[in-house]
A = this chain, B = another copy of it.
Amino acid sequence: MADALLSATDLAAARGERLLFRDVSLSVCAGEALILRGANGAGKTTLLRILAGLTRAEAGEVSRPQPIHWIAHRTGLKPHETPRQHLALWAKAWGAEADVDSALKAAGLARPADVPARLLSAGQRQRTALARLKLQDRPVWLVDEPFSALDVDARAKLEADIIAHRSSGGAVVAAIHGEPGFAPSGEVRL
């Protein structure tokens, strides 16, 4: 598959003395969305971290020809950082010329834009992390339980964003429990 935006072959991961999974192969092309399924502790987060290059696989190869966005439980917000500061920082670090104010407004964070993260509500923190997706156009989104803590509006908005991202040639790999809210192109069971 020459045009895969991300692919992996024969991955295996172990934690402690336990083998979490092995012989996992996957690939996503433009427009595809892969959902990772599995019980709590099955290794979805671990697999995503391997795909992102954060964790080493016990075996197997990952090819990552395109830049990726990474959204996880650990949102990356510092306790003292405000949503505005966070987005401005990463826009600058990535060399993205995004308009932070409109990103904040689009994420519904106009009101708490200057409240430090440790005082934000759980959903507001998650919205801030998700707003990073809009700072820069990156073909591959790796997202770990992206809907957690989101209210109904924010959830609908994220679903629409994912659909738009796919139709503009992007790909998504997501670990999700329950209904995804969009039509996945495939599923990986761990």
A residues engaging B (CB < 8 A)? 15-16, 18, 38-42, 45, 73, 108, 111-112, 115, 119-124, 126-127, 145, 148-155, 177-178
Contacts and interface: CB of A to CB of B under 8 A. Distances in A.
B145 A41 contact: no
B177 A155 contact: yes
A40 B177 contact: no
Nearest to A121: B41
Number of copies: 2
Nearest to A122: B73
Contacts of A177: 123, 149-152, 155
A149 B16 CA distance: 22
A40 B145 contact: no
Nearest to A73: B122
Contacts of A15: 119
B122 A45 contact: yes
A91 to B, nearest CB: 22
Contacts of A120: 41
B151 A149 contact: no
Nearest to A16: B115
A141 B112 CA distance: 30
Contacts of A121: 40-42, 45
Given A40-B150, A45-B121, A123-B177, 9 more contacts: A15-B119, A16-B115, A39-B108, A39-B123, A40-B121, A40-B149, A41-B112, A41-B121, A150-B177
